[in-house]
Structure 1
């Protein structure tokens, strides 16, 4: 596990929204979980990680580090968009979550992507054990590097919309 790659991945995802020491601490947690999963779990009895999950512990820890506004999870596109709206702040986005209710999931994701383009690209990230959509926003100008990092780390990441 390459610490520099994990750190760069977090830097791209955080997009300037986190201090360097916070990113370093997040990266360190992922590295610890990768180095010795059993010890990590023994020291974190509150963890809800289960060995039968489709992802390794280090990836689970990485996802936990993204909670609180860096990753968006929901089974419904409207709820997903509300989380994104909250992250941007009131009045920053024009699309209304109500405008997504009559659309298919693919149609709603396309509308959300159009709202955030060209600055951001919606990314389906990792495997969600709760069968929800799990979305990151990645600066479009950093997308190629982000995807290369995901590939190097063995993380699942695809653009949410086929045309982006």
Structure 2
């Protein structure tokens, strides 16, 4: 499982995490998936219990991701503000977070995805992906290059971490 976790973390970090940090997170998460009780015993400072709605390994993955990789917010304005802040100031964003303030959720997601899709065209742009189950905020996402989306989704299925392209998931939910 560690190799799958390393590959997943590499894809969702888009170069924001170094190899050593990826290896460390993957190693800890693999231990937590394999033997949660032993992991908790070896790490008494971990604030996790059986009432959490996600497995310990998944909690280790999401809890270890820095805010430049895992984006959280209670509104699309807040979420996009986090995403923008993670990029170098030289990256040209047309969309401003405040433009999403009074926008319907599906329209806001469409605008965000359109903006992200225009970045790094050599890699197909970014796709905003709902990642894991958010414990503290309404929205929890990662960015992945479009060219890596299929592999990232397959890894999430293999590992057992819920993930879905955010715009597609919202469109499906809107049709139901």
Match runs of 1:10-159 below 5 Å: 10-92=9-91, 93-118=93-118, 119-159=125-165
Q: 1:43 Cα shift?
A: 3.3
Q: 1:90 Cα shift?
A: 2.4
Instruction: Say if 2:72 and 2:137, in contact at 8 Å, map to a contact too.
Output: no
Q: 1:20 Cα shift?
A: 1.4
| 1:28-53: CA deviation from partner (whole Å, max 9, x where unpaired) | 11012112212322333333323112
| 1:113-156: CA deviation from partner (whole Å, max 9, x where unpaired) | 11001400010111112352111101001001111111111111
| 1:56-104: CA deviation from partner (whole Å, max 9, x where unpaired) | 1000001012133110011111110110011013252221111000102
Question: What residue ranges of structure 1 are gaps of 5+ in the alignment?
Answer: none
Matches of 1:99 and 1:28, distance apart in 2 = 41
Question: What residue ranges of structure 2 are gaps of 5+ in the alignment?
Answer: 119-124, 172-176
Cα-Cα RMSD: 1.5
User: Alignment length, in residue pairs?
Assistant: 162
Matches of 1:17 and 1:39, distance apart in 2 = 30
80-89 or 43-52: which moved more? 43-52
Which structure is higher in helix share? 2
Q: 1:16 Cα shift?
A: 1.9
154-163 or 111-120: which moved more? 154-163
Instruction: Say if 2:16 and 2:68, in contact at 8 Å, map to a contact too.
Output: no
Taking structure 1 as the reference length, the TM-score comes to 0.91
1:8 maps to: 7
